[in-house]
Amino acid sequence: MVFPLWEEFIFVYEGLPNGIMEVDYNYNSIVIQFQQDRGSLDFSVYKNDKLPSNFSWERDVHQEIIRNIPDIDPEWYCKPCYELVDFYINFLKERFDTFVWDE
pLDDT at 1 exceeding the cut of 60 = no
Q: What is the 3-state secondary structure (H, E, C) of 43-72?
A: EEEEECCECCCCCCHHHHHHHHHHHHCCCC
Residue 79 has pLDDT above 60, yes or no: yes
Q: Is the pLDDT of residue 83 over 60?
A: yes
Q: Return the pLDDT at 5.
A: 66
Please give the full DSSP string across 5-36, using - where no structure is assigned: GSEEEEEE-TT-GGG-EEEEEEETTEEEEEEE
What's residue 29's pLDDT?
Answer: 85
Per residue in 31-77, pLDDT tens? Answer: 888 888 777 888 889 998 899 999 988 888 888 888 888 887 777 78
Q: Residue 73 and residue 69: Cα distance in Å, rounded?
A: 9
pTM above 0.85, yes or no: no
Sheet containing 7-12: order of strands: 7-12, 21-27, 30-37, 40-47
